[in-house]
C-alpha cells in the first residue's frame, strides 16, 4: 500500500487569495491525481499530475485556476488560485502504485473553506 499525507489538513481563506496544498507519498509512484469533493458530492477528478511535464486537466478545470507541480515521483502540489466561496471543498490527492491489485490510494484530504 501507499501512505499519503497532505498539508494543510484544513484551512479557512479569504476570497481572492491562493492556497497551495502539498501531497507527499511514502514511495515512488508514477500516477498521481488531484480530486475535488464538494459538500455532499462525490469525487471529481481535477487533473493528473505528471512528473516532469505539465499536468493533464479534466474538462472544466484549467491550469490558471489550479496550477499543479510534480517535481518528483513522491511529491506534488495543487494551488487553488484567486479563490471564491465556490471553491470551498475537500481536495484529495490520490496515487496509483500500479500494483497487480490495481488499487488507487487516497490521501486524507484538505478541507478548504473560502469566506
Partner 1 sequence: KNQVEQSPQSLIILEGKNCTLQCNYTVSPFSNLRWYKQDTGRGPVSLTIMTFSENTKSNGRYTATLDADTKQSSLHITASQLSDSASYICVVTPRNTDKLIFGTGTRLQVFP
Where do contacts with partner 1 occur on this chain (CB under 8 A)?
4, 31, 41-45, 48, 92, 94, 96, 101-109, 111
Beta bridge partners of 56: 48
Between 58 and 63, name the residue whose CB sits nearer to partner 1: 58
Residue 93 near residue 75, CB atoms below 8 Å: no
SS3 category, 86: helix
Between 40 and 52, name the residue whose CB sits nearer to partner 1: 40
Nearest distance from residue 62's CB to partner 1, in Å?
A: 18
Nearest distance from residue 93's CB to partner 1, in Å?
A: 8
Nearest distance from residue 76's CB to partner 1, in Å?
A: 15
Between 4 and 68, name the residue whose CB sits nearer to partner 1: 4
For residue 81, give the nearest of 10, 21, 7 by alpha carbon. 21
Nearest distance from residue 17's CB to partner 1, in Å?
A: 23
Between 82 and 103, name the residue whose CB sits nearer to partner 1: 103
Amino acid at each position: 500500500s501507499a501512505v499519503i499525507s497532505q498539508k494543510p489538513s484544513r484551512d479557512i481563506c479569504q476570497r481572492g487569495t491562493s492556497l497551495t496544498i502539498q501531497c507527499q507519498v511514502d514511495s515512488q509512484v508514477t500516477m498521481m491525481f488531484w480530486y475535488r469533493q464538494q459538500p455532499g458530492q462525490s469525487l471529481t477528478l481535477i487533473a493528473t499530475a505528471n512528473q516532469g511535464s505539465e499536468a493533464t486537466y479534466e474538462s472544466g478545470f484549467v491550469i490558471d485556476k489550479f496550477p499543479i507541480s510534480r517535481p518528483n515521483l513522491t511529491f506534488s502540489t495543487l494551488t487553488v488560485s484567486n479563490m471564491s466561496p465556490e471553491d470551498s471543498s475537500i481536495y484529495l490527492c490520490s496515487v496509483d502504485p500500479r500494483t497487480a491489485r490495481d488499487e488507487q490510494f487516497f490521501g486524507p484530504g484538505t478541507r478548504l473553506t473560502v469566506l
